[in-house]
Structure 1
Amino acid sequence: MSRIRSLMPRASALRTALLAFSLAILPSAAVFAANSGSSGKEIPLQQLIDEAPPGGTLKLAEGTYRGPAVVAKPLRIEGANGVRIVNESDQPAVELRANRSALAGLAIRDTGAKTTAAVLLSGADSTLENLRIETVSSGIHLRDASRNKISRTTVSWAGPDVKMTEKGNGIDLYASHDNVIANNTVIGMHDAIYIENSNGIRVEQNEVNESRYGVHFMYVNDSSIRSNIGARNITGAMVMNVNRVEVTSNTFVKQSENVNSQGLLLFDASDSVFTDNRLEGNRVGIFVEQAQKNVLERNRVTVNYVGLQLKESENNRFQGNDFQGNVIPAEATDSQNNDVKANYWDSFQGIDLDGDGFSDMPFAINPFFQKMTKTTPPFQLFFQSPGMAFLEGMLTSSKQAWTTDRAPAMKPYAADADRPPGAFETTGTLVISLLLLGSAVTTIFVTGVRRK
């Protein structure tokens, strides 16, 4: 009996040791490594997913894997350098249906024509990171998917040179709330980042180029577009049918190759804030239509054809913005009760008698040219001509209804804004003017030929 008692502490110690050993190996048991990807053949990705444990990590070795594949359980799929997923089907290359899933470090080439995307996410609390997606459809779709994050991912068009309307969107969200889209690059898609019927969205520090709209919000509330960069799109940021949206510290340049190009467009936007954005070299810097109760402050609007275009909008606040080097500083029609003050207009010569830094004379935005060219576009040929200036000066009977900056700033706000225009800015203004002249001459010529 005493011998049996003497063995009990040893048995207890053995059980403790076994328990500690089991706990030590459990985390590694959740990692399933696929080492057959470098065999020279395309390995079916679905088979490896099915074999991986729920809640674990599937690590893909270098090689080529074949889609389509569906992830219906919590799973993280990681790729080493050289991991490539190819898909020629009409299904997504990878579809994440389960919550708490992830794709990381994968190159996905999706060449199957489809109405869906290369990656389809319909779960929650998942991540897509460090992906390289080449597609002939759309890049990423989120559908009824909340609290996810897309980061450090590149989406680009891999198909033939087709019309922009025949391409899909780069990153596309529908009915998907509280998602983060950060540090991604989208090139050459229909809309680079498209958000519809989704709230609580953060679009931050992305680069969006050569697409129709760089960032496109439709029916979006309580969301933000911050610190993004866009170039050579038709429109940098298209913000439509939104409430309580923040658009700040973005840079949109060279949206000028289309007659409808804008750096920033607000349509039916309300109770939103647009601050500290840089709009340069666009056809229209900021276009505002049917918008109300918004704040636009400290935006730098330079070297555009039209700096600000305001239409059928009311009760907005425009304050502390810099307008420099624009061919037309501003145009405004059918817009009432807007609070416009303390903006800098380089084409306006004010008088500051009390030395407070603001002009004692207001700057009234003459709508004559905008109204005339709207009904007869070829009249753009006469922009800034002596006759046009004379007519603008004569037709002032309704001046009290014009949008007016009641106290324009005497100096620009930006630290480097008072420097002489650089070569790019001077050339950009000249090119825009020449393009406008050519367009007007062509229109007049064609109209004349047709009338004959």
Structure 2
Amino acid sequence: MKIMNYIMFLLVLSLFMPAVSGAEGTLQSKIDEAKKGATIEIEEGEYEETLVISKPITLEGKGEVLLRSCQAEPVITISGESVTLKNVKVEHCGDEKEDTAIYVTGTNHKLEGLAVETKRYGIRLDHANGVTIKDSDIVGRKQGNGIDLWESNQNQFENIKITNVMDGIYLERSNKNTIHRNDIQRSRYGLHLMFSNENILDENVSRANITGTMLMESKRTVVRHNKFLSNNKSVNAQGLLIYVSTDTEVTGNEFISNRIGIFIEEAEKNRIDSNKIMDNFIGIQFKKANGNTIMRNTFVGNVNDAQAVESANNEFNRNYWDAASKVDVNGDGESEIVYSADPYFLTLTSAIPEYQLFFQTPGLLLLQNILKSPADQLLTDSAPLMDMTMEVEKEKSTSLSLWVISVVMILSSFSLFIFGRIRR
């Protein structure tokens, strides 16, 4: 009887052991054996292995498929051309600086329906061209970029949700890429372009990041129909930062409830046209920036509409300002009263924060009218519009964010006043 039990145990063990040990490398073996153009279907389950794909095949998950590894190499490495990866979850649990869930080089690959979890980098493109990544989710731990490009051109990123990474999509020396309808939240920079030219950022949402989008030393970028929302959790926060960049077209975007809606620094020949700039602490700010054009924008509900420092040669023309006095004598839709955005309050409170207690008080408004800011800080619109260029909610501005900003300013100033007295 004991012998029979022992034999049965060995039979059961023989049934299960090959399946467990054979699971390692099973997918890689199928990949190695597949012919060009073949489709490999991955059965539902969890796979603890790393894969290398270097020929034009399709790897597609059926059901819930998890590919997981904590090794130094990427979970999936793609090279060559025309590889398709679909409907899998990829998890990299390593915590070394360069750890990457998916590494891509080569041309014309297609990645879709992915769910990526990583402690470091999500998807890295290195000299990868003509790659499409879409309909995917990437979640990180703010230690690496969601999608990282190095010298990678003419790629397309569409309908990707990226959360809790360092930079949502980072481009360096990468040109003519299209970034369309992505949602990036709770990261350092939503989109970050460095030395990258002729890229298109279209219909993305960048919210609750430190900076919604940064363009640095990049040329001919198109930024259109995006939403930059609530990028205000840091003293350095802004919706869009244009730094040492030229020929940028910023059109049809919404900048709402950011610390600074648009910040232009040491940049020239950029065009800011037909955007909604609403409920920001500062609508638009210039620093050592000249030769930019700002026209047909709608400024509503900002604490400070505009400020310029050492930036005297920017053209403001035909914008709508809710704070402007408007009189249209000849019916051309433009007010005959010139509007000057004076950052007097901002300048005053930068020097003495306690003066924030007097925000919007009659006395401060009177002082602003008597004591004008320096000429290089005034931004003047010679023909402000009578009507908005973009639709704004029925109440024009929610006012809630403006009240919140004001209350926070008042409370912080009151605290400074009290603590100052105690220390004395």
TM-score, normalising length: structure 1: 0.83
Deviation at 1:421, TM superposition (A): 4.4
Query: Aligned match of 1:311 in 264, 287, 292?
Result: 287
Q: What amino acid is aligned across from residue 138 of structure 1 in structure 2?
A: Y
Query: Aligned match of 1:121 in 81, 104, 126?
Result: 104
Conserved? CA contact 1:67–1:94, under 8 Å: no
Give the corresponding residue for 1:196: 172
> Equivalents in 1 of 2:80, 2:380: separation in Å?
55
Alignment of 1:414-433 (within 5 A): 414-416=390-392, 419-421=394-396, 425-433=398-406
Conserved? CA contact 1:168–1:189, under 8 Å: yes
Q: What amino acid is aligned across from residue 66 of structure 1 in structure 2?
A: E
| Change in CA separation of 1:382 and 1:90 when aligned onto 2, cut-off 3 Å | farther
| SS in structure 1 at match of 2:291 | coil
Conserved? CA contact 2:300–2:396, under 8 Å: no
> Equivalents in 2 of 1:80, 1:98: separation in Å?
24
> Equivalents in 2 of 1:352, 1:294: separation in Å?
29
2:70 counterpart of 1:88: yes
Q: What amino acid is aligned across from residue 244 of structure 1 in structure 2?
A: R
| SS in structure 1 at match of 2:244 | strand
Query: Aligned match of 2:411 in 420, 438, 451?
Result: 438
1:240-261 Cα distance to aligned partner (Å, 9 max, x none): 2111010000012121222222
Give the corresponding residue for 2:114: 131
Deviation at 1:169, TM superposition (A): 0.9
Deviation at 1:113, TM superposition (A): 1.5
TM-score, normalising length: structure 2: 0.88
| SS in structure 2 at match of 1:176 | coil
Deviation at 1:342, TM superposition (A): 0.9
Deviation at 1:445, TM superposition (A): 5.6
> Equivalents in 2 of 1:185, 1:143: separation in Å?
21
Query: Aligned match of 2:136 in 146, 153, 159?
Result: 153
Q: What amino acid is aligned across from residue 103 of structure 1 in structure 2?
A: L
Deviation at 1:92, TM superposition (A): 0.6
Give the corresponding residue for 1:70: 52
Give the corresponding residue for 1:256: 232
Give the corresponding residue for 1:27: none
Give the corresponding residue for 2:388: 412
> Equivalents in 2 of 1:87, 1:446: separation in Å?
53
Give the corresponding residue for 2:272: 296
Conserved? CA contact 2:189–2:211, under 8 Å: yes
Deviation at 1:97, TM superposition (A): 2.2
Conserved? CA contact 1:280–1:302, under 8 Å: yes
2:358 counterpart of 1:358: no
> Equivalents in 2 of 1:201, 1:268: separation in Å?
20
Deviation at 1:328, TM superposition (A): 1.7
Query: Aligned match of 2:41 in 59, 83, 91?
Result: 59
Conserved? CA contact 1:40–1:63, under 8 Å: no
Conserved? CA contact 1:89–1:113, under 8 Å: no
Deviation at 1:352, TM superposition (A): 1.7
Conserved? CA contact 1:333–1:367, under 8 Å: no
Q: What amino acid is aligned across from residue 188 of structure 1 in structure 2?
A: N
Give the corresponding residue for 1:101: 83
> Equivalents in 2 of 1:76, 1:421: separation in Å?
51
Deviation at 1:212, TM superposition (A): 1.4
2:316 counterpart of 1:340: yes
| SS in structure 2 at match of 1:123 | strand
| SS in structure 2 at match of 1:145 | strand
> Equivalents in 1 of 2:373, 2:40: separation in Å?
74
| Change in CA separation of 1:428 and 1:51 when aligned onto 2, cut-off 3 Å | same
| Change in CA separation of 1:130 and 1:283 when aligned onto 2, cut-off 3 Å | same
User: Aligned residues, how many?
Assistant: 404
Q: What amino acid is aligned across from residue 43 of structure 2 in structure 1?
A: A
> Could you tell which deviates more after superposition, 216-225 or 65-74?
65-74
Larger Rg belongs to: 1
CA RMSD, aligned part only?
2.3
Conserved? CA contact 1:332–1:402, under 8 Å: yes
Unaligned runs of 5+ in 2: 1-15
Deviation at 1:344, TM superposition (A): 0.6
2:199 counterpart of 1:223: yes
> Equivalents in 2 of 1:102, 1:355: separation in Å?
59
Conserved? CA contact 2:203–2:225, under 8 Å: yes
> Equivalents in 2 of 1:410, 1:399: separation in Å?
25
| Change in CA separation of 1:401 and 1:420 when aligned onto 2, cut-off 3 Å | closer
> Equivalents in 1 of 2:223, 2:421: separation in Å?
44
